[in-house]
């Protein structure tokens, strides 16, 4: 585990070990409920939080589901909407069925509510402020808190709402941060993974060459709305005809480890060619009642970053988690080499075992689990391991096939250990398939290089395919309790719902 993180570029490790056996070819492409009408509210001269920031002067902005930290306060039933001056909730959040709350400080004060007040004790907030018109309580008039419920019940006059913070729900990177194993790379085409993140989720490219190796056309960033990818903006930009591809996956860790299309590697065949950007309209899906586009990556498609910041190198501890489609959603998921997400070389070339530390999903020429796959395994270069310390072609009877619609996998390590944990991203518990010593092929040590790959092998082996939803890499090895919290966070999101 790192005691501190120092922003530093990772130096390229040029490792040119020659792979000549079948095992050594492991990384070669061998081949709101109804809004309550709680009275007219005060006609405060301010809006209750314009967008993800709330404004009054006293409480905190709320999360996706709770509008402000307390939302606008309830007066006697409806409460005041935060004495927030220019941004206190105009109209407050009235009670659940209260008659109304006052507007911001400067509002005229709504009629005191009398039925089921939900006013509350603090601040306005609300994600985008418009009278509590989302699935929470709040007066229908006024602008106090987009999704807020107006704080706790009570009859005390409320304080003004304080300037708000970003309203993203807790994500996996918040959990890792709390466990002192922070995300150093985090990507999702579905949602925000770190609550403080305010940047775009990904960038699209419209037009240009087809297939596209990363040039031409028009570019547009796609942001999150309410914590989820803005599908309306995605559709409006891509249109119904013509090519539209994923150009960049933005790193939500704050370290700038963005992924762009991978360049040709040192192996033969298509691995030696530049990869193609993936179709941005091919895989519509849902999560938590929100529509978005998953990142389906076909053969000859992959993303990479060789100039990373704060990625684990050498024998440093690391964790990787990923959510991807299992074979229940897409038959034949992940044949061949090598649909990976994780740590790899920085020169697009292969090297000795232990140079890579990436989570693989698929089937291939190496280790196996039970059933017919696909399986989450560890691609460590010159072999893909299902577990154990021996050869990479061993079968692990504790490793189940990922036959569900949405699969969840974890690969984590320290100097002398690695672990593989897997589960159904929609239900059930995590299975620890392996937690033990490193392969003897490492010659006693990891030599991680610190590059980041998605959908390919370390030498750009690009003969596999898969569908990516979200994933992150941590500096430090998360404990099992932290794994479980991240797993439950993913399940609570509701992929496929």
6 within a domain of the structure (yes/no): no
22 within a domain of the structure (yes/no): no
176 within a domain of the structure (yes/no): yes
In this structure, the dihedral spanned by the alpha carbons of residues 350, 352, 355 and 356, taken in order and rounded to 10 degrees, is: 60
269 within a domain of the structure (yes/no): yes
24 within a domain of the structure (yes/no): no
pLDDT tens track, the chain, 497 positions? 433 333 333 333 222 332 223 333 334 433 333 333 333 333 333 333 333 333 333 333 333 333 333 333 333 333 333 333 333 333 333 333 333 333 333 333 333 333 333 333 333 333 333 333 333 333 333 334 343 343 333 333 333 333 333 447 899 999 999 999 999 999 999 999 999 999 999 999 999 999 999 999 999 999 999 999 999 999 999 999 999 999 999 999 999 999 999 999 999 999 999 999 999 999 999 999 999 999 999 999 999 999 999 999 999 999 999 999 999 987 767 789 999 999 999 999 999 999 999 999 999 889 999 999 999 999 999 999 999 999 999 999 999 999 999 999 999 999 999 999 999 999 999 999 999 999 999 999 999 999 999 999 999 999 999 999 999 999 999 999 999 999 999 999 999 99
Q: Are residues 219 and 80 in the same domain?
A: no
- Of 334, 359, 355, give the one whose Cα is nearest residue 473: 359
Q: Are residues 146 and 60 in the same domain?
A: yes
Which residues partner with 341 through β-bridges?
A: 359, 454
Phi and psi angles of residue 151, each rounded to the nearest 5 degrees, phi first? 80, -170
Q: In this structure, what DSSP letter does residue 123 have?
A: -
* Residue that terminates a domain, selected from 167, 197, 219: 167
334 within a domain of the structure (yes/no): yes
pLDDT tens string 393-428: 999 999 999 999 999 999 999 999 999 999 999 999
State the CB neighbour count (10 A cutoff) for residue 465.
Answer: 21
* Residue that terminates a domain, selected from 147, 167, 187: 167
Q: Are residues 96 and 226 in the same domain?
A: no
The single residue of 279, 325, 381, 470 carrying the catalytic annotation is 381
Cα 24 from Cα 300, distance rounded (Å):
21
Q: Are residues 340 and 409 in the same domain?
A: yes
Burial class (CB in 10 A: 0-12, 13-18, 19+), 175: buried
> Tokens representing 60?
């905190």
Cα 18 to chain centroid distance, Å, stands at 36
* Residue that terminates a domain, selected from 134, 167, 200: 167
CA angle 140, 145, 150 (to 5 degrees): 80
Q: Are residues 80 and 216 in the same domain?
A: no
Three-state secondary-structure class, residue 86: helix
Q: Are residues 89 and 180 in the same domain?
A: no
284 within a domain of the structure (yes/no): yes
pLDDT tens string 317-331: 999 999 999 999 877
- Give me the helices (H) in 154-257, please: 172-178, 231-238
- Catalytic residue flag (residue 459): yes
Assess contact for 353 and 22: CB atoms under 8 A.
no
> Tokens representing 466?
């898969």
Q: In this structure, what DSSP letter does residue 452 have?
A: E
State the DSSP H helix or E strand holding residue 481, giving kind and residue range, or none if neither.
Answer: helix 480-493
Number of domains making up the chain: 2
For residue 440, give every residue at least 6 positions away whose Cβ sits within 8 Å of its Cβ, in sequence order, or none.
Answer: 389, 390
The single residue of 316, 325, 347, 459 carrying the catalytic annotation is 459
Q: Are residues 221 and 141 in the same domain?
A: no
User: Distance of CA 147 to CAs 31, 48, 113, 286, 336, Å?
Assistant: 52, 11, 20, 21, 46
Q: Are residues 42 and 183 in the same domain?
A: no
Q: Are residues 110 and 198 in the same domain?
A: no
- Catalytic residue flag (residue 325): no
Q: Are residues 151 and 241 in the same domain?
A: no
Q: Are residues 216 and 241 in the same domain?
A: yes
Taking 3-state DSSP, the helix, strand and coil percentages for the chain, each rounded to the nearest 5, stand at 10, 25, 65
> Tokens representing 489?
């966070």
Q: Are residues 178 and 122 in the same domain?
A: no
Domain ranges, residue 373: 171-493
331 within a domain of the structure (yes/no): yes
Task: Look up the CATH number of the domain holding residue 351.
Answer: 2.60.120.200
């Amino acid at each position: 585990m790192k005691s501190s993180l120092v922003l530093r570029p990772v130096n390229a490790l040029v490792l040119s070990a020659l792979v000549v056996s079948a095992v050594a070819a492991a990384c070669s492409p061998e081949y709101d409920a109804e809004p309550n009408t709680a009275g007219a509210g005060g006609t405060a001269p301010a809006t209750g939080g314009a967008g993800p920031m709330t404004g009054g002067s006293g409480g905190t902005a709320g999360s996706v589901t709770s509008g402000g930290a307390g939302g606008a306060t309830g007066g006697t039933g409806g409460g005041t909407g935060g004495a927030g001056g220019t941004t206190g909730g105009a109209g407050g959040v009235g009670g659940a069925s209260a008659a109304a709350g006052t507007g911001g400080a400067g509002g005229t004060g709504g009629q005191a509510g009398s039925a089921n007040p939900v006013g509350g004790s603090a601040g306005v907030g609300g994600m985008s402020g418009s009278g509590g018109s989302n699935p929470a309580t709040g007066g229908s008039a006024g602008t106090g808190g987009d999704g807020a419920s107006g704080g706790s019940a009570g009859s005390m006059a409320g304080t003004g709402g304080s300037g708000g913070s970003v309203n993203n729900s807790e994500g996996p990177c918040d959990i890792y941060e709390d466990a002192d194993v922070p995300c150093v790379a985090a990507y999702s085409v579905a949602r925000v993974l770190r609550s403080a993140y305010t940047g775009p989720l990904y960038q699209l490219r419209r037009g240009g060459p087809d297939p596209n190796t990363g040039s031409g056309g028009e570019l547009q960033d796609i942001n999150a709305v309410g914590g989820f990818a803005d599908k309306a903006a995605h559709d409006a930009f891509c249109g119904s005809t013509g090519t539209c591809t994923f150009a960049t996956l933005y790193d939500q860790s704050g370290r700038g480890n963005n992924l762009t299309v991978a360049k040709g590697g040192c192996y033969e065949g298509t691995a030696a060619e530049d990869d193609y950007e993936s179709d941005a309209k091919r895989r519509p899906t849902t999560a938590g009642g929100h529509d978005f586009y998953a990142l389906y990556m076909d053969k000859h498609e992959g993303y990479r970053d060789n100039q990373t910041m704060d990625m684990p190198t050498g024998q440093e501890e690391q964790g990787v988690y990923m959510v991807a489609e299992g074979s229940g959603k897409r038959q034949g998921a992940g044949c061949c080499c090598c649909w990976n997400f994780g740590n790899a070389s920085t020169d697009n070339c292969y090297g000795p075992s232990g140079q890579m530390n990436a989570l693989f999903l698929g089937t291939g020429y190496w280790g196996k689990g039970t059933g017919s796959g696909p399986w989450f395994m560890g691609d460590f270069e010159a072999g893909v391991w299902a577990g154990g310390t021996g050869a990479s072609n061993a079968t692990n009877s504790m490793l189940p096939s990922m036959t569900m619609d949405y699969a969840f996998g974890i690969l984590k390590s320290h100097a002398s250990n690695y672990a593989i944990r897997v589960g159904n991203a929609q239900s059930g518990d995590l299975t620890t398939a392996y937690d033990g010593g490193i392969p003897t092929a490492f010659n006693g040590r990891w030599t991680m290089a610190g590059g980041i790959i998605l959908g390919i092998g370390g030498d750009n082996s690009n003969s596999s395919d898969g569908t990516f939803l979200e994933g992150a890499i941590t500096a430090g090895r998360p404990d099992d309790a932290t794994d479980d919290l991240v797993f439950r966070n993913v399940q609570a999101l509701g992929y496929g719902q």
